[in-house]
Amino acid sequence: MMAASTPALAVLTARKVAHTVHSYDHDARSQSYGEEAAQILVERLGVLPEQVFKTLVVERVDRSLAVAMVPVTALLSLKATAAALRTRKLTLADRAAAERSSGYVFGGISPLGQRKSLPTVIDVSALGFETILCSGGRRGLEIELAPADLVRLTSAVSAPIAAR
Protein backbone atom coordinates (compact mmCIF):
# COMPACT_ATOMS: atom_id res chain seq x y z
CA MET A 1 0.00 0.00 0.00
CA MET A 2 1.54 3.28 -1.16
CA ALA A 3 -0.16 5.43 1.49
CA ALA A 4 2.17 4.26 4.27
CA SER A 5 5.25 3.02 2.40
CA THR A 6 7.53 5.19 4.57
CA PRO A 7 7.21 6.44 8.16
CA ALA A 8 6.80 9.98 6.78
CA LEU A 9 3.79 8.98 4.70
CA ALA A 10 2.39 7.01 7.63
CA VAL A 11 2.48 10.18 9.79
CA LEU A 12 0.65 12.20 7.15
CA THR A 13 -1.98 9.50 6.68
CA ALA A 14 -2.49 8.96 10.42
CA ARG A 15 -2.82 12.69 11.07
CA LYS A 16 -5.07 13.16 8.00
CA VAL A 17 -2.86 15.91 6.56
CA ALA A 18 -3.48 16.90 2.94
CA HIS A 19 -0.44 16.04 0.83
CA THR A 20 0.60 14.90 -2.61
CA VAL A 21 3.24 12.26 -3.24
CA HIS A 22 5.61 12.71 -6.17
CA SER A 23 8.00 9.94 -7.13
CA TYR A 24 10.73 9.74 -9.72
CA ASP A 25 13.51 7.36 -10.65
CA HIS A 26 16.55 8.42 -8.64
CA ASP A 27 19.79 8.43 -10.65
CA ALA A 28 22.46 6.67 -8.57
CA ARG A 29 25.11 8.84 -10.28
CA SER A 30 23.52 12.05 -8.97
CA GLN A 31 25.90 14.05 -6.78
CA SER A 32 23.20 16.15 -5.11
CA TYR A 33 19.94 14.52 -4.10
CA GLY A 34 18.20 17.84 -3.47
CA GLU A 35 19.25 19.38 -6.77
CA GLU A 36 18.18 16.23 -8.61
CA ALA A 37 14.73 16.36 -6.96
CA ALA A 38 14.35 20.09 -7.63
CA GLN A 39 15.30 19.77 -11.29
CA ILE A 40 12.81 16.95 -11.88
CA LEU A 41 10.00 18.60 -9.89
CA VAL A 42 10.48 21.97 -11.57
CA GLU A 43 10.26 20.29 -14.99
CA ARG A 44 7.29 18.07 -14.08
CA LEU A 45 5.21 20.32 -11.86
CA GLY A 46 6.33 23.82 -12.74
CA VAL A 47 7.15 24.57 -9.09
CA LEU A 48 9.86 27.05 -8.23
CA PRO A 49 13.20 25.52 -7.21
CA GLU A 50 12.90 27.53 -3.97
CA GLN A 51 9.81 25.45 -3.06
CA VAL A 52 11.85 22.26 -2.86
CA PHE A 53 13.43 21.88 0.57
CA LYS A 54 16.31 19.74 1.73
CA THR A 55 16.42 18.19 5.18
CA LEU A 56 19.76 18.49 6.95
CA VAL A 57 20.71 16.99 10.30
CA VAL A 58 22.94 19.22 12.42
CA GLU A 59 24.90 18.49 15.57
CA ARG A 60 25.26 20.72 18.61
CA VAL A 61 28.38 21.02 20.75
CA ASP A 62 26.78 18.66 23.29
CA ARG A 63 26.47 16.06 20.46
CA SER A 64 22.65 16.30 20.38
CA LEU A 65 21.07 16.50 16.94
CA ALA A 66 18.51 18.79 15.31
CA VAL A 67 16.94 19.19 11.88
CA ALA A 68 17.31 22.20 9.59
CA MET A 69 15.35 22.68 6.38
CA VAL A 70 16.31 25.12 3.64
CA PRO A 71 15.52 25.42 -0.06
CA VAL A 72 17.77 23.23 -2.21
CA THR A 73 18.83 26.46 -3.95
CA ALA A 74 20.36 27.77 -0.72
CA LEU A 75 23.09 26.83 1.69
CA LEU A 76 22.44 26.42 5.38
CA SER A 77 23.69 29.19 7.64
CA LEU A 78 25.01 27.26 10.64
CA LYS A 79 25.30 30.49 12.62
CA ALA A 80 21.65 31.49 12.01
CA THR A 81 20.48 27.94 12.70
CA ALA A 82 22.44 27.84 15.97
CA ALA A 83 20.76 31.09 17.00
CA ALA A 84 17.31 29.70 16.14
CA LEU A 85 18.07 26.59 18.22
CA ARG A 86 19.47 28.73 21.05
CA THR A 87 22.85 27.07 20.99
CA ARG A 88 26.25 28.57 20.39
CA LYS A 89 27.62 26.38 17.61
CA LEU A 90 26.51 23.74 15.11
CA THR A 91 28.11 21.47 12.56
CA LEU A 92 26.52 19.25 9.97
CA ALA A 93 26.01 15.81 11.51
CA ASP A 94 27.98 13.04 9.91
CA ARG A 95 26.11 10.79 7.51
CA ALA A 96 26.02 7.75 9.83
CA ALA A 97 24.67 9.77 12.77
CA ALA A 98 21.98 11.35 10.58
CA GLU A 99 20.90 7.95 9.25
CA ARG A 100 20.97 6.31 12.68
CA SER A 101 18.93 9.06 14.32
CA SER A 102 16.37 9.53 11.53
CA GLY A 103 15.99 5.93 10.40
CA TYR A 104 16.28 7.14 6.81
CA VAL A 105 18.99 6.73 4.20
CA PHE A 106 21.15 9.77 3.39
CA GLY A 107 19.60 11.66 0.49
CA GLY A 108 16.15 10.48 1.57
CA ILE A 109 15.92 11.91 5.08
CA SER A 110 12.44 13.26 5.70
CA PRO A 111 11.64 15.71 8.49
CA LEU A 112 8.55 13.56 9.18
CA GLY A 113 8.44 10.15 10.82
CA GLN A 114 11.98 10.20 12.10
CA ARG A 115 13.01 7.49 14.54
CA LYS A 116 13.83 10.17 17.14
CA SER A 117 11.88 13.41 17.24
CA LEU A 118 14.41 16.23 16.91
CA PRO A 119 14.16 20.00 17.32
CA THR A 120 13.45 21.37 13.83
CA VAL A 121 14.06 24.74 12.17
CA ILE A 122 12.51 25.54 8.79
CA ASP A 123 13.71 28.50 6.77
CA VAL A 124 11.17 31.31 6.97
CA SER A 125 10.93 31.43 3.16
CA ALA A 126 8.80 28.25 3.31
CA LEU A 127 5.93 30.24 4.80
CA GLY A 128 5.66 32.34 1.64
CA PHE A 129 4.48 29.38 -0.43
CA GLU A 130 1.10 27.67 -0.56
CA THR A 131 2.92 24.33 -0.68
CA ILE A 132 6.51 23.16 -0.37
CA LEU A 133 8.14 19.85 -1.20
CA CYS A 134 10.41 17.76 0.99
CA SER A 135 11.69 14.22 1.11
CA GLY A 136 9.13 11.52 1.65
CA GLY A 137 11.63 9.22 3.30
CA ARG A 138 13.60 7.72 0.44
CA ARG A 139 15.52 8.88 -2.59
CA GLY A 140 13.11 9.59 -5.43
CA LEU A 141 10.10 10.25 -3.17
CA GLU A 142 8.93 13.78 -2.44
CA ILE A 143 5.95 15.03 -0.44
CA GLU A 144 4.13 18.24 -1.27
CA LEU A 145 2.27 19.84 1.64
CA ALA A 146 1.37 23.16 3.20
CA PRO A 147 4.31 24.64 5.13
CA ALA A 148 2.06 25.30 8.15
CA ASP A 149 1.29 21.56 8.31
CA LEU A 150 4.98 20.71 8.21
CA VAL A 151 5.70 23.23 10.97
CA ARG A 152 2.88 21.80 13.10
CA LEU A 153 3.81 18.13 12.55
CA THR A 154 7.49 18.69 13.37
CA SER A 155 6.90 21.29 16.12
CA ALA A 156 9.32 23.44 14.14
CA VAL A 157 10.32 27.02 14.53
CA SER A 158 10.78 29.13 11.42
CA ALA A 159 13.76 31.44 11.11
CA PRO A 160 15.91 32.95 8.37
CA ILE A 161 18.49 30.13 8.24
CA ALA A 162 19.22 30.01 4.51
CA ALA A 163 22.41 31.56 3.21
CA ARG A 164 21.85 32.54 -0.40
According to the model, what pLDDT value does residue 19 have?
95
Tell me what pLDDT residue 3 has: 44
The dihedral over CA atoms of 87, 90, 94, 97, expressed in degrees to the nearest 10, equals 0
The candidate with the shortest Cα–Cα distance to 147, out of 101, 112, 107, 116, is 112
- Prediction pTM value: 0.91
CB–CB of 52/74 below 8 Å?
no
Going residue by residue through the chain, which has 164 residues, state the pLDDT in tens, using 9 for 90 and above. 344 589 999 999 999 999 999 887 776 777 677 777 778 787 888 888 999 999 999 999 999 999 999 999 999 999 999 999 999 999 999 999 999 999 999 889 999 999 999 999 999 999 999 999 999 999 888 999 999 999 999 999 999 999 96
Q: What's the pLDDT at 144?
A: 96
Assign a CATH topology to domain 2-163.
Answer: YbaK protein (3.90.960)
Q: Domain map of the chain by residue range?
A: 2-163
